């Protein structure tokens, strides 16, 4: 009897593969998740820190929080889960698309190439006046809040609650999900839409759906394969 890990590993040998990741894949790099035991939203209020309204009312507070997260991520290293996905991409004979909800940039640092960032990137800033975007890897950020050359406030180039996802990223992610032969949802609680809806899109388009997560998620019922455990342990076994 073939094991679930074996079945998933075999399915990755050909065809169109999509890896859909969430904060859980960075947990073993000591980057806090959002809804886990010590998750960010357990200790901080998303309404006060991750909305346009919060930024408008107190940009310094919001930037102090993002600067704190940048300092944590700056010290973090990609783990064996990130590295395994980069290797699966290198070995892929068909297409491989990595759709991430993460803003930490650890997939890039692990060497992943075809990465779609649905929720933006914490290492980029956008001007609230002239809309210019630029990479900013200054740690710690000084001064806070940062300003653009045009004089207007800069904001983190991430997607806040109540904001639309970047159109081109969403289109690429949705297209990849409809074309997928294998769709792996890794380290996501699958609760935040529209991103979480990609699992259903892939399933309805005929993809084999695999879940990698130590805990149950609402997407488990859509999955053919559920691999219960930390991504850093499970993903290397798929090589
Ligand atoms: N390996 C795999 N999964 C893990 C690990 C691990 N080592 N540790 C925890 N997990 C799982 C948790 O069980 C949980 O299901 O990762 C998931 C993390 O869920 P969330 O914290 O809700 O993160 P995510 O799904 O990425 O959140 C989606 O919500 O707050 C917004 O914009 C933010 O992108 C984020 C979005």
For 72-86, give the secondary structure using H, E and C.
HHHHCCCCHHHHHHH
Q: Does residue 101's CB lie within 6 angstroms of at least one atom of ligand 1? A: yes
Q: Does residue 214's CB lie within 6 angstroms of at least one atom of ligand 1? A: yes
Q: Which mutation among 101, 188, 210, 230 tests ligand 1's pocket best, with the greatest number of atoms within 8 A of CB?
A: 188
Alpha-carbon distance values, 134 to 127, 128, 153 (Å) = 9, 12, 13
Ligand 1 centroid, distance to 231 Cα (angstroms):
11
Ranges of residues in the chain with a pLDDT under 70 are 1
State the pLDDT at residue 37: 76
What six digits make up the tokens of 22?
Answer: 């969430």
Q: Does residue 156's CB lie within 6 angstroms of at least one atom of ligand 1? A: no
Establish whether the linkage from the previous residue to 198 is cis, with ω within 30° of 0: no
Geometric angle at alpha carbon 65, from 63 and 66, rounded to 5° = 65
State the pLDDT at residue 43: 75
Q: Does residue 34's CB lie within 6 angstroms of at least one atom of ligand 1? A: yes
Q: Are 12 and 182 in contact (CB under 8 A)?
A: yes
| CB contact burial 80-109 (16+ within 10 A = b; e otherwise) | bbbbbbbbbbeebeeebbbbbbbbbbbbbb
Ligand 1 centroid, distance to 150 Cα (angstroms):
37
Residues 168 and 164: their CA atoms lie apart, in Å, by 11
State the pLDDT at residue 42: 72
Residues 32 and 234: their CA atoms lie apart, in Å, by 19
State the pLDDT at residue 131: 97
State the pLDDT at residue 1: 67
Return the residue matching tokens 């909800």. 101
Q: Are 106 and 26 in contact (CB under 8 A)?
A: yes
Which of 126, 40, 26, 119 minimizes the C-alpha distance to 78? 26
First to last CA, the chain: 20
94-129 pLDDT tens trace:
899 999 999 999 999 999 999 999 999 999 999 999
176-210 pLDDT tens trace:
999 999 999 999 999 999 999 999 999 999 999 99
Ligand 1 centroid, distance to 170 Cα (angstroms):
19
Residues 57 and 61: their CA atoms lie apart, in Å, by 9
Residues with catalytic function: 119
Establish whether the linkage from the previous residue to 145 is cis, with ω within 30° of 0: yes
State the pLDDT at residue 160: 96
């Amino acid at each position: 009897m073939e094991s679930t890990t074996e079945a998933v590993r075999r399915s990755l040998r050909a065809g169109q593969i999509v890896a859909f990741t969430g904060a859980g894949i960075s947990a073993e790099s000591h980057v806090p998740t959002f809804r886990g035991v010590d998750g960010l939203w357990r200790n901080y209020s998303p309404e006060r820190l991750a909305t346009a309204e919060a930024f408008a009312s107190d940009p310094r507070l919001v930037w102090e929080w993002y600067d704190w997260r940048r300092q944590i991520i700056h010290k973090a290293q990609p783990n064996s889960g990130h590295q395994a996905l980069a290797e699966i991409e290198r070995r892929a004979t068909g297409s491989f698309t990595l759709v991430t909800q993460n803003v930490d940039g650890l997939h890039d640092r692990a060497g992943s190439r075809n990465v779609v960032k649905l929720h933006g990137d914490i290492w980029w800033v956008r001007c609230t006046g002239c809309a210019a975007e630029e990479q900013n890897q200054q740690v710690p950020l000084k001064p806070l809040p940062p300003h653009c050359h045009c004089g207007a406030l800069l904001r983190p180039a991430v997607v806040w609650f109540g904001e639309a996802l970047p159109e081109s990223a969403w289109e690429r992610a949705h297209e990849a999900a409809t074309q997928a032969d294998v769709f792996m949802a890794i380290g996501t609680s699958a609760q935040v839409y529209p991103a979480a809806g990609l699992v259903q899109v892939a399933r309805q388009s005929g993809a084999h759906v695999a879940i990698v997560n130590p805990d149950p998620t609402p997407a488990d019922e859509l999955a053919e394969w559920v691999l219960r455990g930390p991504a850093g342990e499970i993903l290397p076994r798929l090589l």
